[in-house]
Amino acid sequence: MKLSHYFLPTLRQAPSDADTISTKLMQRAGLIRKVTGGLYEWLPFGLRALKNVEQIVREEMNAVNGQEVWLPIVHPKNLWEETGRWNQYGKELLRFKDRKDAEFCLAPTAEEVITDLVRNEISSYRQLPVFLYQFGTKFRDEIRPRFGVMRSREFYMKDGYSFHADEKDAENFYQKAFTAYQNIFKRCGLKFRPVEAETGAIGGSFSHEFMVLAETGENEIAYCSCGYAANSERAECAPPSPPPPEPSQPLQEVHTPNAWTVEDVAKLLKAAKEKFLKTLFYMADGKPIVALVRGDHELNENKLMRHLGSKKLEKATDKEYEQIAGCPVGFAGPVGLDGRASLLADLAVQTVFNGISGANKKDYHLKNINRDRDYRPAQFVDLHVAAPGDRCPRCQKPFQFCRGIEVGHTFKLGTKYSQSMKATYLDAEQHSKPFIMGCYGIGVSRVVAAAIEQGNDENGIIWPASIAPFQVQLIPIESEDSKIKEAVEKLYQGLQKRNISVLLDDRSERAGVKFKDADLIGTPLRITVSSKTIEKDSVELKRRSSKELQMIPLNQCPDFVDTLLHEMLK
């Protein structure tokens, strides 16, 4: 590709609303443009990277017998009603009507449509397993689109769905898909970590997220040297080792006017947050539940829901809270609540002696609360979001934490969709059985942004060679010189003959401008041809990721670059 005619509009300054390094660089380097909140155009340079990621994903999906399909993005309401997700999905699902008033949604994911396809076409265990996948646009009306294409409303996803006759086959395939995902992200040149995850709106029995490690990631990962790693919203915590017990002090009521948050009361009473018992009210399938967590912890609603086995968990309204606790919001505590609602306490609450909590009375808190004497939860269970100080559930070592960008998600769905949609096959004994399913997503557009989030410096992008829009940037200096012109043209042809993608900067710009642009757009290898190099029958080679300059004989250059790229792609 010759740069003089390439649609690559670069910017000196990123738009002021660009909120991450990758968003800034993707706009400055001419990969994307913003149409409006959460909607982007992909320009030729960006699309080349996207297509490179897509191809890697496609190859790895095909390697585990994936067969590519293309499903519609507009889905009819009736299929989504069969699984109940038409009502459950919430506002991320964009629903609309056609001219005949029939209702549809824009696909955020495609379990319903694919399950419908398979139930119509597959009837026997002999036709199983089958693994179908597609690339395509997904739409989610995200409440707060941000981070450019990392959390956009419209994005490009690979979604795959597998159908199996039994659990064992589904599990074996899950392992294969997991390995394929590891291959994909390795080949994309990313530093990543698979972690145990919540199943969210897609559901199912268990799942893994693939996290690209980056400080700016939205997710927090709790991990341990033993190999355990989980999204901190999922991570289980080992029971905390109890501190030495303190002698019980007498219960004491203290006046705390206008102080109802842990922070406010802690300040007022000059006490540590760890001394507090946070008392939280929920309605689980319509029944009141009170959950206690330590003041420095956050309640993990997923853990609470899983423990209760409830379908719907909602924070109690102020009215419900007041009815249960008999006091205004902010002044509830465990003492005297037994009997009014089921009381569950987090394991770490066991470490609180002489604790502080609301007195179930306006403007009052209680000091020196001790369990058994003052309150008695129905059970102590792991209920809080893993936090520093927590320990690994497998080996009890303290967790370490890092941040990540979720680029892929694999789910073992089991029969969640096949059961509700009556998607069945006949087994060898002619018994009708629901398909066992798995589903496997990759945010292809998010992968491109995540790669840039991980690969950049003050001058611009540093692409992994495997997904870079071009592998080589060829820069002639004083390009009117016929000797240089001839050498460059020969190189340009020679490299392309070896299937190397080359961007030739044939603009009549100064060397400084060309180098600056090359750094901004981040092509892995830069080859400069100038009168100085031609004098020595050579070219100057530089990797984007290093400062080192290397002289290579002109006639050996294409082969040298070919070998080097092969090494870089390993």
Binding site for ligand ATP (CB under 6 A): 109, 140, 142, 150-152, 155, 157, 200, 202, 406-409, 441, 443, 445-446
For residue 434, the minimal CB distance to ligand ATP (Å) is 22
Question: In angstroms, what is the minimal distance from the CB of 185 to ligand ATP?
Answer: 11
Q: Where are the alpha helices (DSSP H) in 271-375?
A: 301-308, 318-325
In terms of C-beta distances under 8 Å and separation of at least 24 residues, what long-range contacts does 39-44 make, across chains too?
39/152, 39/153, 39/154, 40/148, 40/149, 40/152, 40/154, 42/445, 43/7, 43/8, 43/9, 44/6, 44/7, 44/8
Shortest Cβ distance from residue 212 to ligand ATP (Å)?
A: 9
DSSP per-residue string spanning 179-204 = HHHHHHHHHTT--EEEEEE--TTT--
Give the shortest CB-154-to-ligand ATP separation in angstroms: 8
- CA dist., res. 6 & res. 489, Å (int): 17
Angle among Cα 419, 425, 427 to the nearest 5 degrees reads 120
Q: How far is the CB of 527 from ligand ATP (least distance, A)?
A: 35
Contacts of 54 (CB under 8 A, 6+ apart): 135, 156, 158, 444
- Give the nearest distance from C-beta 254 to ligand ATP in angstroms: 42
Contact between 216 and 396 under an 8 Å Cβ cutoff? The reply is no
Q: Which is nearer to ligand ATP, 72 or 200 (CB)?
A: 200
Q: Of 316 and 407, which has the nearer Cβ to ligand ATP? A: 407
Number of Cβ within 10 Å of residue 33's Cβ equals 15
Place of tokens 């798995």: 438
Q: For residues 404 and 476, which CB has a smaller minimum distance to ligand ATP in the complex?
A: 404
> CA–CA separation, 526 vs 508, rounded Å?
17
**Choice between 31 and 541, CB closer to ligand ATP:** 31
Contact in structure between 543 and 561 (CB atoms under 8 Å): no
Which of 280, 263, 275, 259 has the alpha carbon at shortest distance from 384?
Answer: 280
Nearer to ligand ATP, 109 or 279 (CB): 109
The nearest distance, CB 201 to ligand ATP, in angstroms, is 7
User: What's the min distance (Å) between Cβ of 111 and ligand ATP?
Assistant: 10
- What single-letter amino acid sits at 294? R
What is the nearest approach in angstroms of ligand ATP to the Cβ of residue 57?
11
Nearer to ligand ATP, 142 or 562 (CB): 142
Cβ-in-10-Å burial (0-12, 13-18, 19+) of 255 comes to exposed
Specify the residue, 159 or 382, whose C-beta has the smaller distance to ligand ATP.
Answer: 159
Q: Which candidate, 456, 569, 527, 467, places its Cα nearest to that of 46?
A: 467
Cβ-based nearer residue to ligand ATP, 192 or 463: 192
The 8-class DSSP code of residue 319 comes to H
Closer residue to ligand ATP (CB): 118 or 202: 202
Q: Which is nearer to ligand ATP, 202 or 337 (CB)?
A: 202
Residue closer to ligand ATP by CB (options 216, 501) is: 216
For ligand ATP, the closer of residues 199 and 350 by Cβ is 199
Cα distance between residue 148 and residue 485, in whole Å: 40
Least Å distance between CB 401 and ligand ATP? Answer: 18
Q: Closer to ligand ATP at the Cβ: 111 or 540?
A: 111
How far apart are the two ends of the chain, measured CA to CA in Å? 25
CB of 407 to ligand ATP, least distance (A): 5
Shortest reach from residue 465's CB to ligand ATP, in Å: 22
Nearest Cα to Cα of residue 349 among 435, 274, 268: 274
Point out the residue whose Cβ comes nearest to ligand ATP.
443
Instruction: Enumerate the β-bridge partners of residue 271.
Output: none
| Polymer length of the chain | 570
Distance in Å, CB of 567 to ligand ATP, minimum: 29
State how far the Cα of 71 lies from the Cα of 91, in Å rounded to an integer: 22
Least Å from the CB of residue 67 to ligand ATP: 20
Distance, in Å, from the CA atom of 103 to the CA atom of 150, rounded to the nearest integer, reads: 29
DSSP letter assigned to residue 49: H
Burial (CB count within 10 angstroms: exposed 0-12, middle 13-18, buried 19+), residue 307: middle
Q: Which is nearer to ligand ATP, 202 or 561 (CB)?
A: 202
**What strands, in cross-sheet order, belong to the sheet with 538-543?**
502-504, 472-476, 525-529, 538-543, 549-553
490 φ/ψ angles, rounded to the nearest 5 degrees: -65, -45
